[in-house]
Structure 1
Amino acid sequence: MTAPSLPLPLPAIPEDVPEDVPEDAPGARDGATRRRVLAGAGVAASTLVLGVAASGRQAASASARIAGEVRTEFLHGWRGYQAAAWGYDEVRPVSGTRNDFFARGRTFGLSIVEALDTLFLMGENREAARCCDWIEQHLDPVQDASVQVFEAVIRLVGGVLAGYQATGRRALLQRARELADRLLPAFTGSPTGLPYTHVNLRTGAVSGDVATLAEIGSNAMEFGLLSRLTGDARYYEASLRAYRAAFARRSALDLLGTALHVETGRWADTTSVAPNAPVDSFYEYLCTAGGQLGDRSLTGWYRTLTAAILRHQAVRVGGRLWFQAVDFRTGRASGALHQQELGAFYAGLLAKGGAPQQGADYFDSWTAVLDRCPVLPESVDCATLAPVDRSGRLRPEYANAAFDLWRATGQERYRTAGYRWFAAMRERQRVPGGYTTLRDVTAPTGSARAHDDLTPGYWFAENLKYLWLMFSATPRFDYRAGLLSTEGKALVGLRPGWV
C-alpha cells in the first residue's frame, strides 16, 4: 500500500525568508530548515495577520507570538489535568476531580494518550516522554470492560500510533497492536462485516447490534496504518469489509441512511443526516484514508456519496449553505433544518476533497453563527442562527475546518478565523484548573450558570493542535503531505527524532 498524499496546495516558498522563526523551533537557526518551516506554514512575503497588512518578517513575528499564546493555553490545561487527574481518563477542572470515559471504575489514561502527539508537535519533549512512559507501564489493553469500538479506535489506537510515529518507541506500536487485537472481534464476529458497537477487551464478548455510520467507518486510517507498520493485513481488511457492507446498501440516489442492523444488514434509520453526527466521520475517512493509503475504492466511494449529498441535501437559507436531513430513498426533507456543531468540520473536508467553493460557503455559514455566539453552541437553527442546544462542549470542528481550508487555499482569512475562535474559547472557557465545557454559551461571561465541569480528552488532541499548526511553522510536521485523523491524530507527516 503506497501512500500518495491528498492534493493540498500551498503558497510558493518565499525567497526572502524571514529571520523571526521561533527560537525554540528545532533547527530554527539553520537556513534550509527555516525555509522548509515557513514554506510548510504557508507564510508568503506579504500577508495579512489578524487583518493587519504586514511584511513577511512582521507576519512571521506575529505568528510566533500567537503560537506562544496557544502553547501557553495548552500547557495551562495540561497542568490542570496533571494536578487533579494524572493517570485517569479526563479531568473535571472546576471541582478538581476526574472522569472515567470508557467504563466506570476503569481508566485508560485517555487524556495522556490524546495529548501525546500534541505535546510532541509543541516541542514539549519531557512531557511527551512522560506520556510514553505511562502508556508503556500502565495502559492495560485487557481490562474487563466493554468499550465503544469507535471511540477506542480513534482515541486509543490512533493516539498510541501517533505516539509511535513521533517517537519510534517500539513498545507503543506493540501496545497499539494489542489494543486493536482486542477490538477486532467486533468486526470478525459479525456475519455482515458491519462491526458491533462494543466489545469486552478481556473476554471478546460483543454487544450493540445497531451501528451508526460513524461507528462503522471511522477506522481505516488507524487500521490501515497498523497493517502497514506490522505487515498484518487483518486490521485493514476488517475495515474495508465494513465500508463495503455499508456502501453496498446505499439508495438509488447514492445516499446512505444513519444506522444499520449489524447482524441482518438492514437499515435501522433511513435518514441521511450528513454531515451531522452520528455519520460525520464515515465520510471524512473515505476521503482522508483514501489519500493516506492510496485506496481508489475509498476515494471513489467518497466522490459518489459527496456528489449525492451536494445534490440532494445542500440548501441555501438567507444566502448561507446548510445541509438538510432527507429520506435516503426519496430525497424528501426530514425534520427541522438544524445543524450540529459537529458537522462544521465538513467545510474543510469539502475543500480538500474537491469542492472548495462549497467548503468555503459552509465555513462562512458557521462563521455567521460565531458572529452571534462567540462560542459555538452544540446545535443551531439554520434559519435564525439561534441555538437549539445551548451547551458548549469544547468542540474543535470549526478550528479543524479553518486549518483544512487554510492548507487547501493558503488564504489568511482562515487563520484569522481560527484565532478569533481561540480567543473566545480563552475568554469564556478558561478556569483556574484548565478549560471547561459550558452549560449555556449565551450566558454572560463569568456567570455562575455558564461553566460546566469537564475537559474532554479530545481537547488535548485537537483544539489547540490546529491553532498550533496554523501559527507555529513547526518543523515537526510535514505541512504538504501530513494528514490528521478525525480525532486530530497526526498519523501521516510527523517528523520524529526529538523524544
Structure 2
Amino acid sequence: MPRWLSKSIFLSNTLLLVVGILLILPGYNGIGDGDEVFNIFQERDVLEKRYGHFPEELRLEMVRDAKEMFYFGYDNYMKHAFPLDELNPLHCSGRGPDVDNPSNLNINDVLGDYSLSLVESLDALALLGNVTEFHRAVSLVTEFVNFDKNTTVQVFEATIRILGSLLSAHLLIVDPLQPFGQLKPSWYSNQLLDLAQDLGSRLLPAFEETPTGLPFPRVNLRNGVPLDCSRETCTAGAGSLLLEFGLLSRLSGDPVYEAKARRVNKALWSLKSAETGLFGNVVNVDSGAWVGSVSGVGAGVDSFYEYMLKSYILFGEEEDWKMFNESYTALKKYLRRGRRHCNEGLGDPPLYVNVDMKSGETATPWIDAMQAAFSGVQALWGDIQEAICAHALYYFVWRRFGVLPERFNWQRIAPEVRFYPLRPELIESTYALYQVTKSPFYLHVGREIMTSLNAHTRAKCGFATVHDVRDMSLEDRMESFFLAETAKYLYLLFDRDHYVNVNANDFLFSTEGHIFRIQRAFRDNGTFRDAFGTGFQGLNTNDSSLPATFNCPSISDETTWLLPLRSRYMAQLETIILGESSL
C-alpha cells in the first residue's frame, strides 16, 4: 500500500474516532444550547482563549509566589508583632486587645492576647512542608499561649480561630501517616490538645445561663459571662461551633462540648420560620425571639449552613445532613433570583439575595463579601452548576474593583461598604471549584487575585486592609485569617500535586480554613475514643452509608476544557458588572 494512502486512511480513521468520541460524550448530542456546540474544530472565542489554558511553567511560578506571600506576612509578624495577636503592616508593629476601650468590639472580639496569628499559622506551616518552623511554632505556642486572662472575647471567633487551629495542629502531629513530614516534636505530649480543652472549658459559661441554650456572644476567659454582655447573638455566631466542639469532645473524651453545640443547633432549628423554613440573622438568647429577620447566605448566617453539611461529613450524624438538605431547599426556593439554570436559557444571572425570613421577599439591595464562600459549600454539596454561577458573580465584582468590597449593591452596581480586610472567601471557593472541575479558568482567577493583592495590599511589613476600594487607601491591619486562609488557599490552588489535593476526599476545612483529616473514628456515633487508635482509616466518601444525593455528579467535558460558565453568560456578567463585554 502506498505510504500516502496508508497515512490518509490513518487520518480518516482518527477523525472518525474523534467524532465518535464526541458523539458518546455525556450530554453531547451534536446540538448545543443556542449556537454553542462543544466542537474541537470550532474556533474558540476570546473568553475561551483567555481562560482555556494555563501554562505549566506559570502554574509553578504561582506556587512559588503564593509561598512568598505567606512568608512575607508570617516572617514580618514574627519579627515585628509576636507575641501580640496581629501585625500592623504599615508601621511594622504588633497589636493586642484594646484594653483602653473595651467597647471596641472590632478589635476585642477577635484579639485575646494569645498570639493569634501564630496559632492560626500552625497548619499552614505544616501544609507548606516547613517541619522545622512548625516545630518552633508549636514550641512557642506552648510557651507563650495561655487562657487564664482577664480578656473578653467573642465565643465564635475564639472557637473557629484558636480552638480550631489547636485541634488541627494536634491532629496533624499525631497523624500516623505523617504526609507532610515528621511533624511530631520529640517532646510533644498532647500540649495543644490540653490548651484546646482549657479554652473550650473557659467558653462553656456562655452556654450555661440562658433558658434557650443559645450562648451569649462573649465570655471573659477568666470570669465567665460579663454582667454587661449583650443578650443578642447572630445565627452564625451561635450555630457554627459544632465542628470544633464536636472534635474536642471526641479527642478529649468529654461529651459536654458537643452536647452544648448540638443543643444550640436544635434550638435554632426550632426557631426557623414556619412559613419558609428560613432563619433570621440576630436572635435574643433569653427569649429566642428574632431581633433581625434578614435571611441570607452571607454575614450573620453563612457558616451556620456550612457547618450543618461539614458536621455531617465529619461526624456522620444523619440529623445534620437532614438539616442542611432541608435548609438548602428553602434557600434555593426563596433567596435565588435570575434565570432557572446557570448555563441554559434566558434571563438575569443567578443571584442569592437577602430576604425577609417570613415572607421570602427581598430585604436588601446588597450582598456581602462573606457570601462569596457559599459557592464552595455548593461545590461540596455537589450542586456544581449553581456553584459555578454563584462564584462567577463575585469574580466579576473583584475584577471591577481589584478587591472585594465588604458590601456590594447589586441594584446600583456600586460598593456599599467599601473596605476589604483581606478576606479569603472568594479564594476559598475558587480553590473548591478548581478541585471539582479542574478547569484552568479558576487558575486564571487565582492569578488575578494574587496579582491584585500584591499590587494593592502589599505594604512595608506585610499585607494591609484596603480602607476604601475606590482609592485603594490602606488601614494598618493584617488579620490572622490572611495567613490561615487567604495565602494558604492560594498556595493549595496552584500546588496541583499537593498531598491534600491528591487525597481531597480525606480532608475537610473548617470555616476558618483549618484542616481536619476525615476518619471513621469521628463518625463512631456516641463513642469518644482515641481518634488514632487501632484500625485508623480515612473515610471513603463513596461509602454506601452516605445519602445518595451527597455523591457528586460527573463534570462535563465542556466545564473542564472550555469554560465552566459559557461565554455568553460570562459576557453578560462583564456587561452588567464591568460595563463592557469581551464578545
Q: RMSD of the alignment, in Å?
A: 2.2
Tell me the CA shift for residue 125 of structure 1: 1.9
Tell me the CA shift for residue 52 of structure 1: 6.4
Deviates more, 1:378-387 or 1:258-267: 378-387
- Partner residue in 1 for 2:396: 368
Counterpart contact for 2:160–2:512, Cα < 8 Å: yes
Work out the number of aligned pairs and report it.
437
Tell me the CA shift for residue 142 of structure 1: 1.7
User: Structure 2 matches for 1:317-356, cutoff 5 A?
Assistant: 319-335=348-364, 337-356=365-384
- Pairing 1:481–2:531 present: no
- CA distance in 2: counterparts of 1:324 and 1:124, whole angstroms: 42
Q: Secondary structure at the match of 1:451?
A: strand
Query: Which of residues 66, 90, 93 in structure 2 aligns to 1:97?
Result: 93
Query: Which of residues 248, 259, 262 in structure 1 aligns to 2:285?
Result: 262
Q: Which amino acid aligns with 2:499?
A: P
Tell me the CA shift for residue 62 of structure 1: 4.0
- Partner residue in 1 for 2:485: 462
Q: Secondary structure at the match of 1:129?
A: helix
Tell me the CA shift for residue 106 of structure 1: 5.4
CA deviations 1:283-311 (Å, max 9, x no partner) are: 11111121111121112111111111111
User: Structure 2 matches for 1:75-154, cutoff 5 A?
Assistant: 75-101=71-97, 103=108, 107-154=113-160
Counterpart contact for 2:464–2:478, Cα < 8 Å: yes
Q: Which amino acid aligns with 1:250?
A: K
- Partner residue in 1 for 2:210: 190
- CA distance in 1: counterparts of 2:291 and 2:421, whole angstroms: 28
Deviates more, 1:169-178 or 1:410-419: 410-419
- Partner residue in 1 for 2:559: none
Q: Which amino acid aligns with 2:224?
A: G
Q: Which amino acid aligns with 2:83?
A: G
Q: Secondary structure at the match of 2:467?
A: coil
Tell me the CA shift for residue 146 of structure 1: 1.6
Tell me the CA shift for residue 490 of structure 1: 0.6
User: Structure 2 matches for 1:361-440, cutoff 5 A?
Assistant: 361-440=389-468
Counterpart contact for 2:216–2:225, Cα < 8 Å: no
Tell me the CA shift for residue 384 of structure 1: 4.0
Q: Which amino acid aligns with 1:245?
A: A
Tell me the CA shift for residue 50 of structure 1: 8.1
- Partner residue in 1 for 2:581: none
Q: Which amino acid aligns with 1:81?
A: Y
- CA distance in 1: counterparts of 2:514 and 2:322, whole angstroms: 24
- Partner residue in 1 for 2:193: 173
- Partner residue in 2 for 1:308: 330
Q: Which amino acid aligns with 2:352?
A: F
Tell me the CA shift for residue 475 of structure 1: 2.5
Q: Secondary structure at the match of 2:378?
A: helix
Note closer, same or farther for the CA distance 1:296–1:268 as it changes in structure 2 (3 Å cut): same
- CA distance in 2: counterparts of 1:96 and 1:405, whole angstroms: 36
Q: Secondary structure at the match of 2:271?
A: coil
Q: Secondary structure at the match of 1:192?
A: coil
Tell me the CA shift for residue 458 of structure 1: 0.8
Structure with bigger gyration radius: 2
- Partner residue in 2 for 1:69: 65
Counterpart contact for 1:158–1:491, Cα < 8 Å: no
Query: Which of residues 151, 156, 159 in structure 1 aligns to 2:162?
Result: 156
Q: Which amino acid aligns with 1:481?
A: D
Q: Which amino acid aligns with 1:331?
A: G
Note closer, same or farther for the CA distance 1:476–1:130 as it changes in structure 2 (3 Å cut): farther
- CA distance in 2: counterparts of 1:50 and 1:489, whole angstroms: 33
- CA distance in 2: counterparts of 1:299 and 1:187, whole angstroms: 24
- CA distance in 2: counterparts of 1:246 and 1:484, whole angstroms: 23
- CA distance in 1: counterparts of 2:479 and 2:143, whole angstroms: 23
- Partner residue in 1 for 2:100: none
Tell me the CA shift for residue 282 of structure 1: 0.8
CA deviations 1:240-270 (Å, max 9, x no partner) are: 1000000111112111111111111121122
CA deviations 1:299-358 (Å, max 9, x no partner) are: 2111111111111111129722222222211112223x2011111001111121232221
- CA distance in 2: counterparts of 1:225 and 1:237, whole angstroms: 12
- CA distance in 1: counterparts of 2:358 and 2:51, whole angstroms: 46
CA deviations 1:33-65 (Å, max 9, x no partner) are: xxxxxxxxxxxxxxx9984647xxx63x54332
Q: Secondary structure at the match of 1:443?
A: coil
Q: Which amino acid aligns with 1:420?
A: E
- CA distance in 2: counterparts of 1:265 and 1:371, whole angstroms: 41
- Pairing 1:233–2:261 present: no
Tell me the CA shift for residue 160 of structure 1: 0.8
Counterpart contact for 2:112–2:153, Cα < 8 Å: no
- Partner residue in 2 for 1:491: 516
Query: Which of residues 225, 233, 249 in structure 1 aligns to 2:271?
Result: 249
Q: Which amino acid aligns with 1:73?
A: M
Note closer, same or farther for the CA distance 1:347–1:110 as it changes in structure 2 (3 Å cut): same
- Partner residue in 2 for 1:202: 222
Deviates more, 1:89-98 or 1:322-331: 322-331
Counterpart contact for 1:196–1:209, Cα < 8 Å: yes
Percent of pairs with identical residues = 29
Note closer, same or farther for the CA distance 1:483–1:476 as it changes in structure 2 (3 Å cut): closer
Tell me the CA shift for residue 486 of structure 1: 0.7
Counterpart contact for 2:314–2:518, Cα < 8 Å: no
Tell me the CA shift for residue 466 of structure 1: 0.9
- CA distance in 2: counterparts of 1:493 and 1:88, whole angstroms: 33
Q: Secondary structure at the match of 1:140?
A: coil
Q: Which runs of 5+ in 2 are unaligned?
A: 1-47, 98-106, 175-187, 340-346, 520-531, 533-583
Q: Which amino acid aligns with 2:384?
A: P
Note closer, same or farther for the CA distance 1:49–1:219 as it changes in structure 2 (3 Å cut): farther
- Pairing 1:453–2:481 present: no
Tell me the CA shift for residue 493 of structure 1: 5.8
- Partner residue in 1 for 2:19: none
CA deviations 1:375-400 (Å, max 9, x no partner) are: 11111111343211221211110001
